[in-house]
Structure 1
């Protein structure tokens, strides 16, 4: 298992370098100049050039990338141009809020999604299954920012039960978690239902029915266990997707976090902050994929042997 984990980790290195290049190039293609946020109106081109040279923005792009990557490998994310603080400090200050939101949303969507998908599979073609499938279709199509606004309008404005924004109490987590988690619930439920229906057609399941085991026990103890393999894959990807999806949700609910920091940096064209935030989101996707693969390997030895 350890050798499998090391091989999977090594496979992420070229992915990391490729993503770092893509992030760097995309950010520098965004229209705008961070220097414009530092100079006064009417400043001369010479004054702008001095500021650009101070932050290394006058160098060719390939030199800027090499400098940024070299510092990054040493744990230095650089300094924010507009905010004038180390990027690592800004990320460390905001990432706990994003992790709390993403972790709660992942837990919510996992528990509810697997439960709902299991019920739909156990009662296939029933009224319950139809209701669940309708809810899955609706949850898959609703944009998260629009759902967030609806939840604010209902539970905060109309009913006054929950705070509209901020992160001062645990109640402020409820609406953002629902906003992110409901979409994930639909995906997990759909995958769980399909996987359980496919597993139920396997020969070993027919043998268990022939032995006279209760149907509920077969479904919950045997079918669900084998059907969790594709669900684990989806959940691994969801780690990164949820953290990335929190960008718009944090902005809608005016919560601190990587999303709010990234949007603020985009408005200021603060290259180091944007690069740091996007790289953290990309790392979250890679780590989520790695965790999903490791869990799958722990559940199915055939996966480990395929890379040995």
Structure 2
């Protein structure tokens, strides 16, 4: 298992390099630069040139990329041009809020999704099954920012159950976590339902019924255990997607976090902050993929054998 984990980790290195190139080019090829936010109207062009040289923006893209990678391999994400603070410090102040939001959203997706999927599989092709899958379809198609606005209007403004925005109280994370987690819950519910229905057709399930094992025991101890293999893989892949999907939701709910930091930096064209934030999101996706592969290999040894061959 350790060798398999090392192989999968090494396989992420070229992916990481490609991601750094894409992140760098996406930012620098967009019109505008952070110097625009530092200069006042009518400022001397010589002052603009001096600032460009000070931040290395007068060099070629290749030189800027190599300089950025040189700092990156030493663990230095650079200094924010507009805020003039270390990017690592800014990310450290905000990433905790994103991790809390993402963790709660992932837990919501897992618990509610698995329960809904098991219930739908138990009542296959009945009213409960159709109702749950219809709700799952709606949950996976409604844009998260629009759903967040509806939740604010109903639960915060109309009912007054939770705060409208901010992060001053623990209740302020309920609506954002539910908003982010609904899309994942829908996917988990559908995957759980399909996996349980397919597993129920296996020969060993027929044998369990022949032995007189209760339906509840078969559902919870046998079908669910086999169905959790694809579900855990899906949830691990959702780790990065949930963190990334929190970007717009944090902005809608005016919460501090990596998403709010990224959106502000984009408006200011603050290259180091944008690069650092996008890199954190990409690393979250890659780590989620790695965790999914390791969980799948741990639960199904055939995965390790296929990779070795």
How many positions carry a matched residue from both structures? 308
Partner of 1:178: 178
Query: 1:156: Cα distance to partner?
Result: 1.1
Structure 1 runs (4+) deviating above 4 angstroms are none
> Deviations 1:68-88 (Å, cap 9, x if unpaired)?
011111100000000100000
Within-5 A mapping of 1:228-267: 228-267=228-267
In 1: Cα distance, 2:261 partner to 2:73 partner:
22
> Deviations 1:136-193 (Å, cap 9, x if unpaired)?
1111111100110011001111111110011111100111011111111111101111
Partner of 1:163: 163
In 1: Cα distance, 2:107 partner to 2:246 partner:
15
Partner of 2:25: 25
TM-score by length of 1: 0.98
Partner of 1:134: 134
Secondary structure of 1:307's aligned partner = helix
Query: Which structure 2 segments of 5+ residues have no match?
Result: none
Query: 1:275: Cα distance to partner?
Result: 0.2
In 1: Cα distance, 2:161 partner to 2:306 partner:
53
Query: 1:306: Cα distance to partner?
Result: 2.4
TM-score by length of 2: 0.98
Is the deviation greater in 255-264 or in 207-216?
207-216
Partner of 2:100: 100
In 2: Cα distance, 1:199 partner to 1:27 partner:
47
Secondary structure of 2:195's aligned partner = helix
Query: 1:292: Cα distance to partner?
Result: 1.0
Q: Is residue 271 of structure 1 aligned with residue 271 of structure 2?
A: yes
Within-5 A mapping of 1:197-208: 197-208=197-208
Partner of 1:213: 213
Query: Which structure 1 segments of 5+ residues have no match?
Result: none
Q: Is residue 123 of structure 1 aligned with residue 106 of structure 2?
A: no
Partner of 2:284: 284
In 2: Cα distance, 1:81 partner to 1:91 partner:
14
In 2: Cα distance, 1:272 partner to 1:198 partner:
49
Query: 1:44: Cα distance to partner?
Result: 2.8
Q: What is the RMSD of the two structures over their aligned residues, measured on CA atoms? A: 0.9
Partner of 2:113: 113
Q: Is residue 153 of structure 1 aligned with residue 153 of structure 2?
A: yes
In 2: Cα distance, 1:301 partner to 1:52 partner:
55
Query: 1:232: Cα distance to partner?
Result: 1.4
In 1: Cα distance, 2:140 partner to 2:107 partner:
18
Within-5 A mapping of 1:297-308: 297-308=297-308
